[in-house]
Amino acid sequence: MERDKCVNREINMKDCPCTYPCSKKGVCCECIRYHLKRGELPACAFPSEVEKTYDRTFERFVEIYSKN
């Protein structure tokens, strides 16, 4: 799929918390695929203060959400 043809891109952009300048921004299916291949989760899985560190590892995710 071409990024400019994603029917949900504008809607997704309103909710995308990613601060990294990325060509996949707003095209969630491509973003998720990209990050999973790298052993990461996308920005939307993290609180904003953690997202800004770009540490999107599964380990960081577990560390954050296992503190309850």
How do residues 2-46 score in pLDDT, each as one tens digit? Answer: 556 899 999 999 999 999 998 999 999 999 999 999 999 999 999
**Range 13-17 contact pairs with CB under 8 angstroms and sequence separation of 24 or more:** 15/44, 16/43, 16/44, 17/43, 17/44, 17/46, 17/48, 17/51
Query: Does the predicted model carry a pTM greater than 0.75?
Result: yes
CB 65 within 8 A of CB 54: no
